[in-house]
């Protein structure tokens, strides 16, 4: 046996016949078609106590989230848009999307090169 894929705290082991993961975070790193078998589940029991007041503000990761806020998340992170700024944020996003759609590949490459050159000059790099 040798070490194979594993998520944080996992101990992925591989043999010539089988691969196994004991941590769910490792599944996203494995190629499609990987057979998944489970010996059981460990449910987390819920509670019957309600959080009061309902629809009140909560803090998550240092950010206050209120009822009506827009929360968008993917594997790279989470963005919370306050409900009272949604029209402004939507307008800004549409403008940025239109600008990006109008830019050619050459425009994007030139802008990228300018950003890199500015950073390098700021660090006194000459080359």
* Segment-wise mean pLDDT, segments of 10 residues, the chain, 127 residues: 43 49 55 60 73 82 91 89 94 92 91 93 84
| 31 and 59 inside one domain | no
Sorted by sequence, the CB contacts under 8 Å of residue 41 that are 6+ apart come out as: none
33 Rama class: left (phi>0) / alpha (psi -120 to 50) / beta:
left
pLDDT at 12: 46
Residue 45 lies in a domain: no
Residue 101 lies in a domain: yes
pLDDT at 2: 40
pLDDT at 46: 74
Structural domain boundaries enclosing 64: 51-81
Residue 18 lies in a domain: yes
């Amino acid at each position: 046996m040798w070490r194979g894929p594993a998520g944080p705290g996992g101990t992925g082991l591989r043999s010539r016949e089988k691969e196994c993961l004991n941590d769910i975070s490792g599944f996203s790193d494995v190629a499609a078609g990987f057979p998944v078998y489970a010996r059981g589940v460990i449910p987390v029991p819920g509670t019957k106590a309600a959080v009061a007041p309902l629809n009140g503000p909560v803090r998550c990761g240092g950010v206050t989230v209120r009822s009506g806020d827009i929360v968008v998340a993917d594997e790279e992170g989470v963005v919370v848009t306050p409900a009272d700024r949604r029209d402004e944020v939507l307008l800004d996003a549409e403008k940025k999307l239109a600008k990006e759609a109008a830019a050619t590949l050459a425009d994007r490459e030139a802008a990228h090169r300018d950003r890199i050159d500015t950073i390098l000059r700021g660090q006194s790099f000459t080359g």
